[in-house]
Structure 1
């Protein structure tokens, strides 16, 4: 598929089904794009579709199956949208750092395919709003899903959920307690963390 050059072609891209419950259109909305009038269109749609399909099938569908609705706050960004957001201080990192993150259609510096969606899991937020409660969801994901990285935020425990080839499994947070919760080499990285998320839905492999 070529980069859409018309509204009808963009509609066709939006109709691409990435997984059972998610379509490409679900991931193309951007407040930066909407407010500043910068098209949020992949340069390489086939690459974005492949990366997004893995993100949905490996991470988002299992989350949805366990917790119900998963709200997408921010997902795909075109290089133009991301560069503008970075230049204007709108919570966007550099394009290079966002390859295989929010910029799905460009591989990272070592050639890995990847995709990020910032999501909110209402089931978790509605039940666990005490300081540090984001760690419950973090450990549940760590124990059950093949994520590459998680980055949590204070509002609604939103999390940048990244799928990538050859995942590293690292968790960081802007929410208190800030910093790195775990990464390869830390003593807490392996083993079961079930007591950290007692009462959470059981993971069931569909």
Structure 2
């Protein structure tokens, strides 16, 4: 598929079904693009579709099947939109660090395909607001899903979920007081099951 150059072509891209419950259009909204008159459209739609389909199939669909509704906070960014966001302090990393991340239509430095979506898991909100324990969702994903990297944020415990070829499986948080790396390969808490970390949350659902 070529990069859309017309409304009809963009509609066709948006109607591509990535998985049972998700279409490409669900991931194309960008506040940066909307406010600053930019187009948030993949240069390589086929690569973006392939990466997005893997993200949906491996992570978002099973997450929704287990916990119900999820909201997409941000997802695909064109290289242009991401570079503008980085240059203007809009919490976007450098393009080179976002290839295979929010920039779905570029492979990363290792040549790996990947895609990121920032989502809110609605079932976590009451538990998180009552206990502050975002780690319950982090460990459940770690034990059950094929993710590459998770990054948690304070508001509603929104999480950047990345799927990538050759996953690194690293969890990081920006939520005080436990900012920093929760786990990654080589840390003592990485291996094995972590059922006790999310048992209380699951019991509350």
TM-score, reference length from structure 1: 0.96
| Native 8 Å contact 2:38 2:81 kept in 1 | yes
| Native 8 Å contact 1:86 1:93 kept in 2 | yes
- 2:169 alignment counterpart: 169
Q: How many residues align?
A: 202
Structure 2 residues not aligned, in runs of 5+: none
2:87 counterpart of 1:80: no
- 1:117 alignment counterpart: 117
- 1:193 alignment counterpart: 194
| Native 8 Å contact 2:128 2:157 kept in 1 | no
TM-score, reference length from structure 2: 0.96
Q: Residues 62-107 of structure 1, C-alpha deviation per residue, up to 9 Å, x if partnerless?
A: 0000000110000000011001000100000111110000000000
- 2:156 alignment counterpart: 156
Deviation at 1:128, TM superposition (A): 2.4
- 1:47 alignment counterpart: 47
The residue matched to 1:72 in structure 2 has which SS?
strand
Deviation at 1:168, TM superposition (A): 1.1
Distance (whole Å) between structure 1 residues aligned to residue 88 and residue 128 of structure 2 = 33
Deviation at 1:129, TM superposition (A): 1.8
Please, what is the CA RMSD of the aligned residues?
1.2
2:192 counterpart of 1:182: no
Higher percent of residues as helix: 2
